[in-house]
Each structure stands twice: as C-alpha cells, then as structure tokens.
Amino acid sequence: MTLAGCQSPRSTEQSIDLGNHYLEFGEWQKAADEFQPVTINSPGLWKGEYGYGVAMSQLGDLVTARRCLETANDHSPGNMEIIEALAEVMYRQGDTGQLFQLLRGAGASLGRTEPYLILGLYAIKLKDNDSAILAFQSAIEVDSGAVRPRTTEPYYQLAMLQFSLGNKAEATRRLRQAYGISAADPRVIQALQMQGVPLDASTALPPGI
C-alpha cells in the first residue's frame, strides 16, 4: 500500500503545468502555491516567474508580482504575455512612466502593433489623449512596413478616440482607411454606416498617417 506521504515531489514542469491549469480557471492561490517553489528552486525560469507573477497580481501583491514579471521579461524578452501582464501591474501601481517606457520599447524593438495598441488604450484610461493618439499612430507606422497593412485595429481605435474628442472628420477618415484594409470588418462597417458614409468603390482611403 502506497502512503500519501511517500509520494515523490512534482517535477518543475509538472508544477508549471498544474500552475497554468489553476491560472486558466482563476484559482489564484493554488496557482501561487505551485509556482512559488519553482521560483525558489529554478530562479529566472521565465515560465515559473511569469506564472507566480500573474497569480500574485491577482492576489493583490503587486510588489512581488512586478518583481517576478520583470524577471520573466528579462529571461524571455519580446514575450507579449509577459509584457501585457507587467504593463497591467505597472498601471495598477500608478507607475505611468515605466508603463509607457515598457510598451514603447517593446513596440520599437519588436516592430509590432500590439504594444502600441495596448499603450494607446492605457493612455485613454489615464486621460492622456495626446499619448494615445501618438501610440495609435506608431502602430500605424509599424504596420505600414508590410506589403499591405495587416490590421484595421489602430485605425479603428484612433477613429473611436477622435470621435470622443469631437473630431468627426478625422475619425471618419480613419474609418475609411480601415475599410480600405478590410471591407469585412463589422465594427468598421457599422461605424461608417452610423456616420452615413456610403459603402461603395469610393469609400476606401489609402492607409498611412
């Protein structure tokens, strides 16, 4: 008969897998209990640091969460899951300067739209509309490096922001650019229709700033 006390401890990978399972179902304390030994026994292993950081963030320990997520970011640079989680902790801590620096740096080094889009949305939350506009414009510039822009997202988000600021003409222009990228985006179609813009061969505008 096998005694429970004689069971072998879980391996690092087993603990990470189980911790991720708990994260998926929002069982934050159980996730933390799985990831904490990993951070102790395998310091710097990004999967363990990330998992523990996310769990501790959800449990309200932002100092520990930030330390772990910064370590994870150092060991797995360019990982958007880590960057997003770290950005959220910085936002909740009120560290706007580091939040903006993190996302601008990620956008520049990765050459991707996602960090700039996240930055723009945080800037809107912080009522920093100028930074939001610059962030969405940066996303547009990064995406223009492709043969054809890949996403309507920065145009759509910039349009919504301009509408909120009362700049209807500029907002509509951005929507028409988005329509030129994808005439099938339901959000863009609905927004154009609400402005009374006919959807025909003349609707689309070239992408760009």
pLDDT tens for 114-161 read: 999 999 999 999 999 999 999 999 999 999 876 667 899 999 999 999
- Give the pLDDT confidence of 24-40 residue by residue, as tens digits: 999 999 999 999 999 99
Q: What average pLDDT score do residues 166-171 get?
A: 98
List the chain domain ranges: 11-94, 95-209
- pLDDT tens profile 81-116: 999 999 999 999 999 999 999 999 999 999 999 999
Of 162, 165, 143, 161, the residue nearest 152 (C-alpha): 143
Q: Provide the percentage of residues in the chain whose pLDDT is more than 90.
A: 91
Top-confidence residue, 10 or 29: 29
Close Cβ partners of 3 (under 8 Å, ≥ 6 residues apart)? none
How far apart are alpha carbons 15 and 21 in whole angstroms? 10
Task: Measure Cα distances from 24 to 20, 32, 36 in Å.
Answer: 6, 13, 17
**What is the average pLDDT value for the chain, to the nearest integer?**
94
For the domain with range 11-94, which CATH number is right: 1.10.150.120, 3.30.930.10, 1.25.40.10, 3.20.20.70? 1.25.40.10
Q: Which region, left, alpha or beta, applies to residue 204 given φ > 0 means left and ψ of -120 to 50 means alpha? A: beta
For residue 150, what pLDDT is reported?
85
Contacts of 160 (CB under 8 A, 6+ apart): 171, 191
Pick the CATH number of 95-209 from 1.25.40.10, 3.40.50.720, 1.10.10.60, 1.10.3720.10: 1.25.40.10
C-alpha 81/C-alpha 87 separation (Å) is: 10
Within this chain, domains 11-94 and 95-209 share the same CATH topology: yes
